[in-house]
Structure 1
Amino acid sequence: MAVLWRLSVLRGVQGGRALFLQTPVVRPALVSAFLQDQPAPGWCGAQHIHLSPIRHSASKAASLHWTSERVVSVLLLGLLPAAYLNPCSAMDYSLAAAITLHSHWGLGQVVTDYIHGDASQKAANAGLLALSALTFAGLCYFNYHDVGICKAVAMLWKL
């Protein structure tokens, strides 16, 4: 009796799998055509994922940008203790440039990820460029006319 029950359950699982593939929810022809980057008959979806290779794969600009971001991040890791141990104007201006560049690239990724539409992205990138230029100019002004970034941070830590 238990053997017959197990066989009926097993048949029900296999039959259920076949029934699932025959339902209108899953249509293997549409799925395979979707993954092969070909239109399927009767498909009228709004989005389509293209699996073709990127047309500009020979361009190394993205790779150089990624490498530059990592170099600036590692440079900042070395500049921070060096600026604490040896506060001078060269360190102040190096920190001003590295912090501004690091922030500009980071906020640029936020703009790319969260702002949609060509006009909106252009406006946001223009605003980001203006903000970065203003930040760098302000830090340079602070370094030239005041105590500088290194001494200002040391003064804040003494509080």
Structure 2
Amino acid sequence: MSWCLQIPQVQHTVVRSSSSGDHVKLWTAERVLSAVLLGAIPAAIAMPTPAVETFLALSLTVHSHWGIEALVHDYVRPSMFGNVIPRLSIAAVYGLSMMTFGSLCYFIYTDVGLINAVSIFWKL
């Protein structure tokens, strides 16, 4: 019966600080961008000009990029996949973000634009 009263041993690990930079500034920038999006979306709806829509496309792309990059950093770790796959994954995230922004700009300037496309979609 003494096995019921045994207290499990807890191991403590030291949390190492990241050597890749100051994450407080990035966290602040992410929150500022989220707040900017609260104004950028209504502004793009009110004035669907290419300049405003390009700003919206850039803001949405950067917002998405930071989220996907954080996901890749969290789940594609060098301890699990080695050193090559995490670096390739981050490069793929950057490539995907650049292609996304380029495609959105192409759509804005050569087609109906983001806001008009969403309104056409909602009319269906």
TM-score range, shorter chain: 0.7 to 0.9
Does residue 154 of the first structure (1) align with residue 119 of the second (2)?
A: yes
Alpha-carbon RMSD across the aligned residues, in angstroms, is 2.5
1:72 corresponding residue in structure 2: 33
Amino acid at match of 2:14: H
Shift of 1:90: 1.6
Matches within 5 A, 1:8-157: 20-21=5-6, 26=8, 34-35=11-12, 49-50=13-14, 54=17, 61-117=22-78, 118-157=83-122
Amino acid in structure 1 at the alignment position of 2:96: L
- Cα offset for 1:139? 0.5
- Give aligned-pair identity as a percent: 37
Cα distance per residue 1:24-53 (max 9 Å; x no partner): x646xxx5xx55xxxxxxxxxxxxx016x7
Paired residue type of 1:73 = S
Larger Rg over CA atoms: 1
Gaps of 5+ in 1: 1-15, 36-48
Q: Check the 8 A contact 1:91/1:150 in 2, yes or no.
A: no
- Provide the aligned length of Structure 1 versus Structure 2: 119
CA distance in 1: counterparts of 2:116 and 2:73, whole angstroms: 35
* Distance change (3 Å), C-alpha of 1:26 and 1:83: closer
Aligned AA (2:36): L
Q: Distance in 2 between matches of 1:54 and 1:116?
A: 16
TM-score (norm 1): 0.65
Q: Assess, with a 3 A threshold, how the Cα gap between structure 1 residues 155 and 115 changes in structure 2: closer, same or farther.
A: same
Over 3 Å counting, the alpha-carbon distance change for 1:140 and 1:109 in structure 2 is: same
| Structure-2 separation of matches of 1:92 and 1:148 | 7
